[in-house]
Structure 1
Amino acid sequence: MNILTEKFNTPYHSAPFNLIKNEDYLPAFKELIQKSEEEIDAIVNNPASPTFENVIEALAYSGEQLDTVSNIFFNLNSAETSDELQQIAQEVSPILTEYSSKISQNEALFNKIKKVYDEKEKYNLNEEQQMLLNETYKGFVRSGALLNEADKEKLKKINMDLSLKSLQFGQNVLASTNNYFKHITNKADLAGIPEAILEQYAEEAKERNLDGWVVTLQYPSYIPFMTYAENRELRKEIALANGKRSFDGGEFDNQNLIKELLSLKHQKAELLGYKDYADYVLEERMAKSPAKVIDFLNELLVKAKPYADKEIEELKSLAKADGIDEMQAYDHAFYAEKLRKAKYDLNDEELKPYFPLNQVQDAVFGLANTLFGLSFEERNDIPKYHEDVKVYEVFEAGNGKPEDGSNHPEKTFKALLYVDYFPRKGKRAGAWMTSYKNQYTKDGENSRPHISIVCNFSKPTKDTPSLLTFQEVTTLFHEFGHALHGMLANTQYPTLSGTSVKWDFVELPSQFLENFCYEPEFLKTFAKHYKTGEILPDEKIEKIEQSKNFMEGYQTLRQLGFGLLDMNYHTKVGDVESKSVKEFEDEYTKATQLYPVNPETAMSPSFSHIFQGGYSAGYYSYKWAEVLDADAFQYFKENGIFNPEIAAKYKVLLSSGGTKDPMELYKSFRGSEPKVESLLKRAFG
């Protein structure tokens, strides 16, 4: 018996992590692909005339168990990977890509879809059904359904290559990140670094059976070093190692992979009738065209550049006082922290005791309760994939009915929430939200989602709980905003549920929630010293508020640099071919660079968002969504940040998923289209 092909005998049919063995995956994928293909065959071979129900709906609900196992496997490959799991991924990815191509290029299936699409006027479809029909038809066309057989084969091969090469890209970045560590034995080299961080470095050394301290390129280790270390030579050395990740000509170098990936994407776009890959991607985004994105990014660049230049001049005068005539990128965090302390008398380390992880989590749970009536209760009997993970049942207040696995008939079960907060060797860097199971409604039953938040916060030590920097506080709120999008989902079809929205809309809920972290009335409810219980003093809260836009010009230019680089990678095909990765990167980020460019480093080879993740020709969406979130929060600010009527309208936006055009959803909530002025006002006053 293979646990992955059976119905899970767990509360809420949650993933039975404790029973899954690595050798279960490959046979399970093969069996479930076959089962899913049989479901497709049943749709194709149905002798009845094609209808919305027997074609479009049947397809939307097909492959459920395969999706579940895919979610389990690929989520673990990001959060708890191993050499064995990565090897399985190399075997599984082409099989899944082939399966996906087989469906999208199934001519008989597409003919049935096209018949329903062409005759849609005769069906009395509601808005969600119309969206499902349109998205299904477009999805097949964009996957090559209208191509001839030879071109279908070409596309199939391209998709297969893309799948394997993007997987390899991510594995190279992870290996390159893990491969480096700096062993320090002289404490004088660590001057300026706070005691709590030193403790963390000592723990890292101990785990490697070394004396002294160890600094790694993992975010919670690297960022504090660059922020506090007075030793400029060591800052330079570690920054250089970070900037050389997958860019050192070694075993894990990604430069050739970048060219191969971009070439494959361009071939795919051309085959499907698009000018370039950005053109192909943006057809399905709010922004609609590369030209509109470039204009949007350049408009922000013009407005933000003077602020960024002014900020850097301030830092340079501080550095000059230390005898540094030419400030470098590896000096930025150190002097930015000095300036922040001088301006606002704030530093991360003095704020951290007020933000123990458990209190911050309680705060974000409490906010979800205030705005949306959600409550969270830990379950210790639900399987998890690592001892650090915690699992919560999420309920909505009201007269619910008892659900399978729930002991609370007075509440409605809304979701399972997994939280996984601490770094470890098998976990990729960064923070993300994902799902193990989407929400959908079928045969009258609303099947609820299983959502996960994964972060990389400092682990507790034997003397100290996990304490968050203020930036990490906003990170947790950000990922929880995505989680709310998943947990509040209330749609009929799994493919339109939760975060299944246009890509440049998906960051609205996450970025929106970050705004609450800067509101004094909310901060006072949870920013309390973990030892004394003292509330964060008013003057510090005021300084957090004032410092909200600290280095906003610099941060904006940094994000615009990533967005412009991404957009140019996916439109300037000739330049990609003729230039080295380094030359290309330097040219198309030149307008956003504020420091001398180091000839030995490049960020593209570790730019996982666009070469491994789903942000290809879509990185601009962070800034695009900032316009949305600034405008949305302005609406709350004008009417009270906990205003129940506006929260109820916003809840409708979240629960609607991809069932409506995002601009229409936004206008229903706000009453008008978002204004870029809301972002500029928040950022620069």
Structure 2
Amino acid sequence: MINSHLSTTIKTVALSAIVLLASCNQKKETVNTTTESEPKETANVLLEEWTGPYGGTPAFDKMNVSDIKPALEKGMELNLKEIDEIANNSEAPTFENTIVAMERAGAELDRIFTYYGILSSNMSSPEFRDVQKEMAPKLSEFSSKISQNEKLFKRIKTVYDNAQKTPLEADQQRVVELTYKSFAMNGAELDEEKKKRYAAINKELSELYTNFSNNVLEDEEGYVTYLTKDQLSGLSDPLIKAYAKAATDRGQEGKYAVTNTRSSMDPFLTYSDERAIREKVWKNYYSRGDNGDDKDNNENIAKILKLRKERVGLLGHDNYADWRLQNRMAKNPDNAMKLMNAVWPAAIARVKEEVTDMQAVADANGDKITIEPWDYRYYAEKVRKKKYDLDSDEVKQYLQLDKLREAMFFVAGELFNYKFTPIEEGKIPVFHEDVKVWEVNDKTSGEHIGLWYLDPFARPGKRSGAWATTYRSHTTFDGKKNVLASNNSNFVKPAPGEAVLVSWDDATTFFHEFGHALHFFASEVRYPTLNGGVRDYTEFQSQLLERWLSTDKVIDNYLVHYKTGEAIPKTLVDKIKKAATFNQGFATTEYLASALMDMKFHLADPTNIDVDKFEKETLTELNMPKELVMRHRTPHFGHVFSGEGYATAYYGYMWADVLTSDAAEAFAEAPGGFYDKEVAAKLVKYLFAPRNAIDPAEAYRKFRGRDAKIEALMKDRGFPVPKS
């Protein structure tokens, strides 16, 4: 998942990105050095230019929640002053005095959003959430003041119209088009009355997004399942130690804590023999935001859906999905639904087969149960052992987080010619002791490219899941800027001295998010706006990088036993490869159910919508298997309802996966396989370096020589391949 730092144009125009940043990121507590005797206009560290080596880095060690509000207010004031100067320029509008000026504006605010994002996503606290609630509507109003600035839009439109007659350089033409269309999509051409309503809706939505996000976070923090020693049956020693540490960290010495996050829940449901506790852990996790209390999100969702429909109606669109997808690869909801509907029948048919296999194992064991959602992972693991003689817990012994990180560095070196060197602790400010930093250089020339921050472990105040972001993106229009990129995960922190062992799925996600970081580092764009992306395309590059986890060079050199250091046995590798499509029914169905619900919610009439009822009835119509649930149930579907980044765009992971499977075949067919230098060079040149400087479909055709086909995706998942 991308949580990209905002370029100037996106920051000041795309409300959805601002609100997402204002509501779905998280905690840091430091000493406030401000004293009563200081003058009113004290320097605010969050506004200051970054100093130190590597082109300057964020002063995370000086970050203070109390500085956020005044910094945001000052940053918005400064940015609006810059925008007014651009809008009121007496000279005729040109690319330089309008578009480039906008690209340059907002440097202070951009820096503040870096700190805001960390405090929201990684280090949230009750104090910060209060500031967040207060500032979300102000940020929305700020956005509207820019997107609805008539003089500014008139200048942008003039530059756009002129560029249609006399085209600029290719990347400049792209910036102009993206800027113009972004303003138009966000109401710049509405009349005065509609603009007021549009802005009011945005303001209300920003408050709802913040409330939704904080409700989910509080439910994640508020529900912990504590175990006693006699309730650990089936759990591995490293997992037991990790749960013990989680309990100790919460003041429950001698107990074992399963926290309400995926990284803690998932292994428990997979290995625990305690069925009643599995059910409790499952219900805690999948009822986040849906407990009928003051943290319940159903009313928030209903309001969000109504306001989104009303807002796009002002722009002449029938529904939110039509408006959102107009500048995506899918172009419209019909195309997105066509792809999902092509895969859905095969996915649920495979679930039926998987459940039959699991029920047979349960019956043979004399368990006298019918498979329920809290049983799926547990019995799937038993089927895996029976069918493939493959124990995923045995595989985990060879999946050490540190070695996987080394493997990612190796892949980056082979494909991108990058070298990662650890930065000495204390040289670069970090926001938590868990965060480590590496310098990224070109292996051949030694050229400095940027810094990579890694924040791997779960903690209170950190939102769940995994994501990538940038603190500074590559640009050259105003002097070359290096990249400050970050990967963030929620692995369960081990007991001191213990290795961090992860599942194959978690290892895949680790590679996925690193793919986003490589996309940031590889950028060769001139202008900030071009570092943005098309949502159903930007997941493609990261999904593609997942494929290198299962390459022989990674397996042979980096999958070693955490105790003995011995390489993973070839027999075990063979079992992993034979089981490559195992449980694809579960994986595809839980994802697609969320993607389909996202789209169907936004195509429906929300006038009197009952969110819980709509979810149940729609899933019933889809013949959703009762033995599993959506990957993200609606009341905690943060991708879609804590902001607008993935709203009606969750299908994008599958759209991107069509590209991924097809592109992977290009490597598989090459003489050097996944390390073929010629294909790797094309990968970097056409799919990574351009970012959003060229149309994604055109970029893919330059790489592959044709459009992507769905056949490779179906084959990868072990589903029947449709006839041409």
TM-score, L = length of structure 2: 0.90
2:542 equivalent to 1:516: no
Match of 2:635 among 605, 622, 629: 605
Structure 1 counterpart of 2:429: 383
2:618 equivalent to 1:588: yes
Please tell me the root mean square deviation across aligned C-alpha atoms, in Å: 1.8
CA shift in 2, pair 1:59/1:347, >3 Å:
same
Farther-moved stretch of structure 1 (118-127 vs 62-71): 118-127
Spell out, residue by residue over 1:306-346, the C-alpha distance to the aligned partner (whole angstroms, 9 max, x if none).
32322221112112233335211111010011111222233
2:708 equivalent to 1:665: no
Structure 2 Cα separation of the partners of residues 450 and 97 of structure 1: 27
Whether the 8 Å contact between 2:47 and 2:111 is mirrored in structure 1 is no
Structure 2 Cα separation of the partners of residues 350 and 597 of structure 1: 25
Structure 2 counterpart of 1:412: 447
Structure 1 counterpart of 2:580: 548
Match of 2:475 among 437, 440, 463: 440
TM-superposed CA distance for 1:199, in Å, is: 1.4
Structure 2 Cα separation of the partners of residues 229 and 325 of structure 1: 16
Match of 1:342 among 367, 370, 386: 386
TM-superposed CA distance for 1:132, in Å, is: 0.7
Unaligned runs of 5+ in 1: 400-410
TM-superposed CA distance for 1:487, in Å, is: 1.1
CA shift in 2, pair 1:598/1:351, >3 Å:
closer
CA shift in 2, pair 1:253/1:121, >3 Å:
closer
Structure 1 Cα separation of the partners of residues 618 and 318 of structure 2: 20
TM-superposed CA distance for 1:578, in Å, is: 3.6
Structure 2 Cα separation of the partners of residues 56 and 38 of structure 1: 16
Structure 2 Cα separation of the partners of residues 628 and 116 of structure 1: 34
Higher relative contact order (CA 8 A, sep 6+): 2
Amino acid in the other structure paired with 1:156: A
Spell out, residue by residue over 1:578-632, the C-alpha distance to the aligned partner (whole angstroms, 9 max, x if none).
4422211112223252225899x99211111111142110110111111110111
Farther-moved stretch of structure 1 (48-57 vs 654-663): 48-57
Please give the residue correspondences for 1:278-297 in structure 2 after superposition, counting only pairs within 5 Å: 278-297=321-340
CA shift in 2, pair 1:602/1:382, >3 Å:
closer
Unaligned runs of 5+ in 2: 1-42, 720-724
Please give the residue correspondences for 1:46-125 in structure 2 after superposition, counting only pairs within 5 Å: 46-125=89-168
Amino acid in the other structure paired with 1:606: H
2:655 equivalent to 1:624: yes
TM-superposed CA distance for 1:190, in Å, is: 2.3
Whether the 8 Å contact between 2:76 and 2:109 is mirrored in structure 1 is yes
Whether the 8 Å contact between 1:430 and 1:456 is mirrored in structure 2 is yes
CA shift in 2, pair 1:275/1:26, >3 Å:
same
Spell out, residue by residue over 1:170-215, the C-alpha distance to the aligned partner (whole angstroms, 9 max, x if none).
1100101110112223x33221112221112222222223232222
Whether the 8 Å contact between 1:369 and 1:375 is mirrored in structure 2 is yes
Structure 1 Cα separation of the partners of residues 472 and 200 of structure 2: 29
Please give the residue correspondences for 1:438-477 in structure 2 after superposition, counting only pairs within 5 Å: 438-443=473-478, 445-477=479-511
CA shift in 2, pair 1:45/1:169, >3 Å:
same
Amino acid in the other structure paired with 1:618: A
Amino acid in the other structure paired with 1:146: E
Whether the 8 Å contact between 1:285 and 1:502 is mirrored in structure 2 is yes
Whether the 8 Å contact between 2:245 and 2:494 is mirrored in structure 1 is no
CA shift in 2, pair 1:170/1:658, >3 Å:
same
TM-superposed CA distance for 1:442, in Å, is: 2.1
Structure 2 counterpart of 1:408: none
Structure 1 Cα separation of the partners of residues 165 and 246 of structure 2: 66
Match of 2:676 among 626, 643, 648: 643
CA shift in 2, pair 1:592/1:56, >3 Å:
farther
Structure 1 counterpart of 2:341: 298
Farther-moved stretch of structure 1 (344-353 vs 579-588): 344-353
Match of 2:185 among 142, 161, 169: 142
Spell out, residue by residue over 1:457-490, the C-alpha distance to the aligned partner (whole angstroms, 9 max, x if none).
1213224121222221111100000111111111
Amino acid in the other structure paired with 1:164: E
Whether the 8 Å contact between 1:582 and 1:602 is mirrored in structure 2 is no
Q: Percent identity?
A: 36
Structure 2 Cα separation of the partners of residues 420 and 300 of structure 1: 35
TM-superposed CA distance for 1:97, in Å, is: 1.4
Whether the 8 Å contact between 1:527 and 1:535 is mirrored in structure 2 is yes
Structure 1 Cα separation of the partners of residues 674 and 204 of structure 2: 48
Structure 1 Cα separation of the partners of residues 167 and 287 of structure 2: 58
Structure 1 Cα separation of the partners of residues 285 and 484 of structure 2: 35
Q: Secondary structure at the match of 1:478?
A: helix
Structure 2 counterpart of 1:406: none
CA shift in 2, pair 1:121/1:65, >3 Å:
same
Structure 2 Cα separation of the partners of residues 76 and 542 of structure 1: 44
Whether the 8 Å contact between 2:241 and 2:494 is mirrored in structure 1 is no
